[in-house]
Structure 1
Amino acid sequence: MNAARAAIFGLSGPTPTPMERDFFRAADPWGFILFGRNVETPGQLSALCASLRDAVGRDAPILIDQEGGRVARLRGPVWREWPDVADHIAATPPGARDAMLRDRYRAIALELSACGVDVNCAPVLDVAAPDCHPFLTPRALGSDAETVARHGRAIREAMAGGGVSAVVKHIPGHGRARVDSHRELPVIEADIETLRAVDFAPFRANADAAMAMTGHLMLPAIDPDACATFSPAVIEVIRTEIGFDGLLMTDDLAMGALSGTAAERAARALKAGCDLVLHCTGDRAEMEAVAEAAPRLAGRARDRADAALAARPGRPETAPSMERADAR
């Protein structure tokens, strides 16, 4: 059986068009990622997940960004609404925060798994610096490495208990970014000792995660010429100093932090050592270019992808009600 292509793709709407189904069948991506434009009701979402898996003829992973708060693709009144996680942590007594996060993310995972979504792009393990850009600070689990690491592990374990795998992000650490990488490339000026002690530490403590997502950022202390996603030197740090040997995917290739065509971006990321490229917009021409540039998984990348699939938790026997629940 052929290995899947080293890519994850989005799609344009709540159901695949005939052209999209034909493309997905031919391109055979490893998985899919969903956004708000793809989500309407629980029944529709379940049918969409089944349709995407049918298009590639296997139980492909289906990813989503469901952190709760401003980054959430499943919204009320159908699904539970949550405050931004930073606000939720701040409103919770210190001794109860780990338990709160476990309850929050198990509930999120149960809603996802009930509809067929089995991978959540969370937790955010970026340590928020005082001048971190506001696109990230409300999503941060803390401002010190030890707290972020502990909260991150609690979230991972809770989601697994709800039947959903975690993707830790944005490795090797996005918390010092003073610009939004959706629009431009952040440059992180910290020295290597500081990066090791703070930014890398939560990822090192969670290096047993099955999957991680790169941050699109420049780390001149490691590589002054290429952003992390395109940098063999940074990927080497992720693999050795941080110790992450799981499946490494890029953040969205369509983000403004990156330069070059879609095909060039995909090729550079894979050459640098990423295992998978992620393209989220559903733009057909760009997806075709990425598929042309991304080979089928092979070697260590295929081994890591297989391990990530094997590590997916089973769907819980009990599923949540689809009626709206108030945010806690």
Structure 2
Amino acid sequence: MTAAFIAGVSGTSLTDDERRFFAETQPAGFIIFTRNVESREQLARLTSDVRAAVGRDDFLVLIDQEGGRVQRLRPPISRLLPPAAAYADCYRTDPSYAIGAAHAVARLTGEELREFGINMNCAPVVDLPVEGAHEIISDRAYGQDVAQVVALARAVGEGLMAAGVVPVIKHIPGHGRATADSHFALPVVSTPHEVLSKTDFAPFKELAAMPSAMTAHVVYSAIDADAPASTSKVMTERIIRGEIGFDGLLMSDDLSMKALKGPMRARAEAVIAAGSDVALHCNGDLDEMRAVAAGVPQLSGRAQKRFAAAIACTQAGEACDRAAALDLLAEVQVRRTRIG
């Protein structure tokens, strides 16, 4: 059986307690942060050790490898990737080129992640930033136009899947309008529902067929003033599963973020009760992880089917033309500098 949560680890290798925890609790996945990365060989060994502790093939190994500011693997472990805004800049003058480059670089990124045993990337960001919003999204976004964001984010998602890596669109139903960073505070968006439907929610609706999504710790007061989307059954059922039509694997954003309050077990229970399939806990604190594990069920029913569908996306196709992808990666950076 698979438990409905994803956990982190504290360092660059598994402790004996962590090894027992993964074996006993059987989480759906494990997420990597910079604290877990020392060398290429070490990282591959860590992911292999976590998989061995769990002892299942249907296991997700996650990372945030968006590019730009949010990139857990950096030189000399992995190459630097441009932020989403670099593709947005290219799109202004040559949409076809920008879409092709985004796809090729995402596929290359996916193939390189697979070398470390990583099969899920928490990207692309599908948020639509607006003037005056907090800078937490800013250059992580593919633009401010719905059609442009959809085209580029779709290219990234499809590029990752071609490499056998599951994309996670985020932060559903939209973090771009938030005036606070949910890592540190709970953002409240008071925009009317009809405006949100035409803007923030629209890119997610166009990309609803993607296999996985991460919820936003953001209150949309016009729809549910009492809870952020991640813990709101109204937002999950009425907006994410309903209006947007997303029926893939739904995970919460990190439970340890300060946008949420209360004991860790209660937070885990809240996101599952709201309708997320799995709860995400990132900081590697073992006591908190035990509390999360105690607060979630085993995957079953629709949640189990969505998890299985995500796992099915980890079958890679033929390898990409790496030389061509690297040329595009370099050219995106040059074009952005020239445009800027």
Measured against the shorter chain, the TM-score band is over 0.9
User: Equivalent residue for 2:197?
Assistant: 196
Distance 1:12 1:313 in 2: 29
How many residues were matched structurally?
324
Relative to structure 2, which stretch is displaced further, 86-95 or 137-146?
86-95
Distance 2:167 2:316 in 1: 13
Amino acid at match of 1:163: G
User: Equivalent residue for 2:62?
Assistant: 63
Offset of residue 146 of structure 1: 1.3
Q: 1:102 to 1:319 in 2, by over 3 A?
A: closer
Distance 2:157 2:3 in 1: 26
Which residue, 260, 268, 277 being the options, matches 2:270?
268
Offset of residue 280 of structure 1: 0.2
Offset of residue 25 of structure 1: 0.6
Q: In structure 1, list runs of 5 or more residues that go unmatched.
A: none
Distance 1:127 1:256 in 2: 23
RMSD of the alignment, in Å? 1.8
Offset of residue 316 of structure 1: 4.9
Distance 2:86 2:48 in 1: 35
- Alpha-carbon deviations, 1:109-157, whole Å to 9, x = none? 1210111101000000001111221111110011011111111111111
Amino acid at match of 1:41: S
User: Equivalent residue for 1:235?
Assistant: 236
Amino acid at match of 2:250: L
User: Equivalent residue for 1:81?
Assistant: 80
User: Equivalent residue for 1:285?
Assistant: 287
Q: 1:151 to 1:6 in 2, by over 3 A?
A: same
Distance 2:43 2:85 in 1: 28
Q: In structure 2, list runs of 5 or more residues that go unmatched.
A: 334-340
- Alpha-carbon deviations, 1:10-50, whole Å to 9, x = none? 00111111110011111110111000111122222221111
Offset of residue 77 of structure 1: 2.4
- Alpha-carbon deviations, 1:272-294, whole Å to 9, x = none? 11110000000011000000111
Distance 1:128 1:249 in 2: 22
- Contact between 1:111 and 1:319, CA under 8 Å: does it hold in 2? no
Higher helix share: 2
Distance 1:5 1:200 in 2: 30
Distance 2:4 2:321 in 1: 32
Distance 2:90 2:316 in 1: 32
Distance 1:255 1:201 in 2: 26
Runs of 4+ in 1 over 6 A off after TM superposition: 318-321
Relative to structure 2, which stretch is displaced further, 84-93 or 140-149?
84-93
Q: 1:315 to 1:10 in 2, by over 3 A?
A: farther
Distance 1:320 1:104 in 2: 9
- Alpha-carbon deviations, 1:227-269, whole Å to 9, x = none? 1111010001110110001110000000011111110100011
Offset of residue 79 of structure 1: 1.2
User: Equivalent residue for 2:206?
Assistant: 205
Offset of residue 309 of structure 1: 1.3
Distance 1:141 1:184 in 2: 24
Amino acid at match of 1:38: N
User: Equivalent residue for 2:257?
Assistant: 255
Q: Secondary structure at the match of 2:203?
A: helix
Amino acid at match of 2:226: D
Distance 1:50 1:318 in 2: 24
Q: Secondary structure at the match of 1:240?
A: helix
User: Equivalent residue for 1:117?
Assistant: 118
Offset of residue 91 of structure 1: 5.2
Q: Secondary structure at the match of 2:65?
A: coil
- Contact between 1:110 and 1:320, CA under 8 Å: does it hold in 2? no
TM score, norm. by length of structure 1:
0.94
User: Equivalent residue for 1:37?
Assistant: 35
Amino acid at match of 2:48: A
